[in-house]
Amino acid sequence: MKAIKAIATYKQTLLSLNALQRRANEISGAVERAGDVYEREYHSAHSILFPWGIFSRVKRTIRRVLGRPFFNEQDLHVIAPFLQMAAELAQLVDTKPLNEEGEII
């Protein structure tokens, strides 16, 4: 009976480990792919907001010195979806496979 209980415990542990591995793969795979999307969108947004590099930055700084916002309303249309993407990526990164007690969630 002890041997059978040991087999059952071993099978249960194996099942938990397999499930944990698959859960971890799911999270890390999603984070990795979403990270790629975020990076691509970051470069895309950056090139829209700062098409002439340092000159665009200088232009915006001058605008701010003159009392106008650094980013205008048109820029916000570029930034807003990008911020949403960042929030979704952050949520993915914060996903935990284990709870405080070390149980798979």
Partner 1 sequence: MKHNKVIHGTVVNAMGSVGKYMPAPDVLAFFNNLVSAFREEQQTQRDLAEIGAKRDLLIAEVTRRYDLYQSVFNNIFTERKHAVDKHFELVERGIATNNKDLIVHGLQGISTIVASSPFANIQELSKLMESGQRLEI
* The one among 17, 19, 58, 62 contacting partner 1 by CB under 8 A: 19
Q: Which residues of 4-23 are buried (b: 16+ CB within 10 A; e: fewer)?
A: eeeeeeeeeeeeeeeeeeeb
* The one among 17, 37, 58, 62 contacting partner 1 by CB under 8 A: 37
In sequence order, the 6+-apart residues with CB closer than 8 A to the CB of 49 are 56, 71, 75, 78, 79
72 binds partner 1 (CB under 8 A): no
Q: How far is the CB of 25 from partner 1 (least distance, A)?
A: 9
In sequence order, the 6+-apart residues with CB closer than 8 A to the CB of 50 are 56, 57
* The one among 39, 53, 69, 81 contacting partner 1 by CB under 8 A: 81
Return residues touching partner 1 (CB under 8 A): 4, 7-8, 11-12, 14-15, 18-19, 22-23, 26-27, 29-30, 33-34, 37, 40-41, 81-82, 84-85, 88-89, 91-92, 95, 104-105
